[in-house]
Amino acid sequence: MLLLAELLSWLAVPALPDALSQLGLAMLLSAFVVLLCVGLAGALKMIGCTVADYFSSSQRTRRRLLFAQARQDQVKRLFYFRTVQLKYFNALKRTRLLKANNRKHIHLLSNAINQQLMSLKPSLAAETFKELQQQNARCRRQQNVEALLQLQKQITTMADKS
């Protein structure tokens, strides 16, 4: 239409090119408006269909099934972790019992070493006595069984010599 207007303008036909230009512009704008409306209507229709499908009965049932499957997995996982937790606390209780028992007997051994040291006190130099006593206290504090037994052996050897 615009080309026709150009042609008429070239042919020097008065008034007609202007009218044709106006008509062409109006048609172009109308076409754009129609295109926009069709696009908008298509998009709205698509959104409507998607929403309807999302809330449809079959989709809801499908989602419910997936939710149930996820819950089943969660229940299984929960059971596993609770078992692990129980095992951990059981081991912890047992370790505490063992540690308390070890502490008690190490204390008894340390006391016996101390008594042996006290009986040897007159025959020992003050520094040696103090050092041995400190060693005994340190080993008891560190719960070092091997060192305590070694110390006891050392003191017995000293007692045998004197």
Partner 1 sequence: MTILKNWVLAVVNLFHSVKSENLQWQQDNQGSQTQLKHAQVMAEKTLEAALKKKSVQLEHDIALLKTRHDAELSMFKTKCKQDVKDYKQYLDSLDQLKRSIQTSYTHLPEAVAFTIHHHAKHLLNQMWEAEDFAAKMHYEMQLIKFMTTVHEDARLHLEGAVNENLPERTLGLIQHQ
Interface residues toward partner 1, by CB under 8 A: 57-58, 61-62, 64-65, 68-69, 71-72, 75-76, 78-79, 82-83, 86-87, 89-90, 93-94, 97-98, 101-102, 105, 108-109, 111-113, 145, 149, 152-153, 156
Q: How far is the CB of 67 from partner 1 (least distance, A)?
A: 9
What sections of the chain are H helices per DSSP?
2-10, 16-54, 57-120, 126-142, 145-161
Q: How far is the CB of 136 from partner 1 (least distance, A)?
A: 12
Any long-range contacts for 134-139 (C-beta under 8 Å, 24+ apart)?
136/110, 137/110, 139/110
Residue among 104, 113, 102 nearest 138 (CA): 113
Residue among 82, 104, 86, 83 nearest 94 (CA): 86
Which CB sits closer to partner 1, 13 or 108? 108
State both tokens at 125.
Answer: 């130099």
Q: How far is the CB of 13 from partner 1 (least distance, A)?
A: 17
Q: How far is the CB of 109 from partner 1 (least distance, A)?
A: 5
Which CB sits closer to partner 1, 28 or 112? 112
Which CB sits closer to partner 1, 32 or 154? 154
Angle formed at CA 114 by CA 112 and CA 117, multiple of 5 degrees? 110
Q: How far is the CB of 156 from partner 1 (least distance, A)?
A: 7
Which CB sits closer to partner 1, 36 or 70? 70
Q: Is 104 exposed, middle or buried (0-12, 13-18, 19+ CB in 10 A)?
A: exposed
Which CB sits closer to partner 1, 44 or 95? 95
